[in-house]
Amino acid sequence: MPSGDATRSSPDEVQHPPPIQCEACESALQNRDGHTLSFLLLDRLTVPVVGCDDHVTEFASVCGLTATDRTDVIDHPPAGGIRCPSCQLARYDIGHPVVSVQDGAVGILACQDHQAELVDRFHEGLDTQEQLTASLDTSR
């Protein structure tokens, strides 16, 4: 019996994230009881994110490279609350995307629109960071 048609039974493209090497991130992601929730303020956006302090800070600083206003991370809900009602509800969902940040991972607990926006900004920020590094390398 050939055993090669296992792929046919799973048509969904389930993406398995790479293993998280940062234990602090992993435990933060597993333990979504609110203690580890951080709030990323990026321009006008307020997005709940989860991960260890180090990697949330790294994530924020990379996203911040694309920001025109200010970037900040706070560990309590902002005074004005989260403005996007979908994001408020999204906090209680499971199955949020996890973005690899160096050897850690940060979960984005936002609505789909804001998830996509934040992931975009992060990748843009990584490009910017690369260009900065590259220009430093070549300008000796």
CA distance linking residue 73 with residue 39, whole number of Å:
6
The nearer residue to Zn ion, 116 or 134, going by C-beta atoms, is 116
Segment near Zn ion (CB under 5 A), from 2-10, 64-72, 104-112, 121-129?
Answer: 104-112
Q: Does 52 bind Zn ion (CB under 5 A)?
A: yes
Segment near Zn ion (CB under 5 A), from 8-16, 38-46, 101-109, 125-133?
Answer: 101-109
| Binds Zn ion by CB under 5 A, chosen from 37, 49, 87, 108 | 87
| Runs of H (alpha helix) within the chain | 23-30, 53-64, 85-90, 112-138
Q: Which residues, in sequence order, are CB contacts of 131 under 8 Å at separation 6+?
A: none
Q: How many residues bind Zn ion (CB under 5 A)?
A: 11
Q: Does 121 bind Zn ion (CB under 5 A)?
A: no
24 contacts 104 by C-beta, under 8 angstroms: yes
Residue identified by tokens 């293993």 is 19
The DSSP output letter for 27 is H
Residues binding Zn ion (CB under 5 A):
22, 24-25, 52, 55, 84, 86-87, 104, 111, 114
